[in-house]
Structures are given as C-alpha cells and as structure tokens.
Amino acid sequence: MSRRGYLKAAMGVLLLFAIGLVGYFALSAGSPDGLERVMEDNGVEEGDQLWSAPLDYGGDWGTAFVAGLIGFALTFGAVYLYLKVYLKGGSARRKA
Amino acid sequence: MDPWVVLLGWALAIPVIAMAIFRLDRRVDERTVPFMAILAAGIFVAQMLNFPVWGGTTGHLIGATLAVVLLGLNGAIVVMTAILVIQCLVFGDGGLTALGLNLLNMAVIAPLVAYGVLRALKGHEGVAVPVASWASVFLASLACGLMLSASYVISDGAFGIIGSVAIPAMAGWHAVIAIGEAVITSGVVLFLKRVAPEMLEINGLKEAGA
C-alpha cells in the first residue's frame, strides 16, 4: 500500500470513529460493558489503583474524540517505532 | 483480583508474548510496518465504541480476530499487547495489576482461539471469520470468569466472584457481545477483501501455518 493509501486508511478509521461516537453517546454511554455489568451485579469494586493514568476517555463527544485521536496516534506511533527499531536490530543480527 | 491469580496471569502471558515478539522477525518487513501500526491504531479506537446489547449492558470489539486475519498469530499478539498497555498506562482502562490478566485474555487467549478456529475451518472463510470472532470473545470471557472464581476461592471470598455466578454471568453476556464482534469483524474483512484484497494477502491465513 502506498503512503497515500495509509493516509486514506487513517482518515477512514478516524471518520468512522467520529460517526461511531455519535451512536455511542446516543445509545451506550454510561452503561456498563459485559465485565463491568457482572462486577456491578455482584458488588465487586475495583481496588485502589497502583498507577494513576494521565488521561481518560473523555465524557462528551468532543473530549472522547480527542481521546480517540490521541490513542490512535499513540498506538500508531508506538507500534511503528517499535517495529522500526526491531527491524534494525534484526538486520544487524542477520548481518552479524 | 487475588494477588496469586494476578501473578499467574503475568506468568502465563509474558512467555507467550515474548515468543510472539521473537517469532515476529520472520514476518515483518519495511512494507508491513505502517500497515501493522495503522491496524493497531484502528483497533484502539474501535475498542472505545461500545454498542448496546441487552438490558442496559454494552459490549465493544476486542479485535483479536481481525488482527489475526490481517497479521497472523504473532503479529496479532504483539499488536493486542501494545493496545492493552497503552489503554492501561495512558487511559487508566484496566488497572496495572490486572494488566497481566487482561493481556492473557485479550492478547493471548483471544488471538490463539481465533487462530485455531481459522486454521480448523481453512478454506471456508465465510464461516471461519464469524465463528473465530465469536469463539475468541466467548472463550476469553470464560477465562475471565474462571479468573474471578479462582480469585474468590483462593482469597476465601475477599476478591473475585463465586464461580457458580461469575462463569455463567461472564459467558452469558459475552455470548451476546461476541455476536457483535462476529458481525463487525466479518463486515470489515469483507470490505477489505473488496477494496484492498492485497491487505488480506500480506497476512495471514496463507502464511500463518508457517
């Protein structure tokens, strides 16, 4: 796939995400997912967190979209960088 | 979750992930790097979108089957691991201690199940993709139910949920949520087959046996 193709794919994913979020806030926001539901039904609470994360998924359309955008960029960046470094290491190993 | 169950989760998840990383070498080349990254990012945003299933409960995509179809087993394990780690560290979705168990369920069990079903039903792709998606979510949730019940037993009720409740409840909800996973995954695969069949070929089903 070309560079243009990747750009189109990224735009497509984010566009679908933006549309999907509207449905999410219309139908699902605030409702528990499967695991949360089972925990709620049984009165199990999550313990204190060892790590407090710097961001959350946002509470309305705009903030959730920004959170998604950040997550998209971070995930893309992390996997991309990791694999690049990994490939470099791999070719060095093969040469050695 | 009971600390012993948490430790067991890490102990089981880490070697499989390490193996996947090690074996990835044969698959990755310059061409596939951006593709893997974009797929990982796409699965991340897909996981944020909950859809309602029943009685005020919602579900969302895990994406393990999609990743296996497009990247093969090792690629899927690595990508799912990256997503779960970012969700945990950056967005606080799932605690740090639970990460080992989440990794075991969604980055190890779900892709393994998906891979197993896809291989078993090789040549019947129309059936294989939805069945693999459904089974991957269902079995991962069953594993989660088992973890909750094991926690309950080991900790004498201090953590987790008693098995006679946890297992049917997890399996029941996720049997329905998994239908959503199957529909979405099949839809995406069919769409990609039509617009970008070369994506399905880098992978995957052909090469995955190697």
pLDDT tens digits, one per residue of A11-69: 888 888 888 888 877 777 777 888 888 888 887 777 766 677 777 777 777 788 888 88
- The answer to whether residue B197 neighbours chain A at the CB level (below 8 Å) is no
Average pLDDT over residues B189-202: 76
What digits encode the pLDDT tens for the residues B49-96?
Answer: 888 887 778 888 898 999 998 888 998 999 999 999 998 888 888 778
Residue A91 pLDDT exceeds 80: no
User: Inter-chain contact B86–A74, Cβ cutoff 8 Å?
Assistant: yes
Per-residue pLDDT band at A90 (split at 50, 70, 90): low
Residue B199's domain spans which residues? 3-208
Contacts of B194 in chain A (CB under 8 A): none
Which pLDDT does position B132 carry in this prediction?
Answer: 93
Question: What is the reported pTM?
Answer: 0.88
The number of distinct structural domains making up chain B is 1
Contacts of B88 in chain A (CB under 8 A): 51, 53
DSSP B58: E
CATH number, position B146 = 1.10.1760.20
Residue with the two structure tokens 């893997």: B36
Q: How far apart are CA A84 and CA A66, in angstroms?
A: 27
CA dihedral B116, B118, B123, B129 (to 10 degrees): 160
CA dihedral A58, A62, A64, A65 (to 10 degrees): -150
Sign of the alpha-carbon torsion through B46, A10, B106, B66: positive
Where do the H-state alpha helices sit in B155-196? 163-195
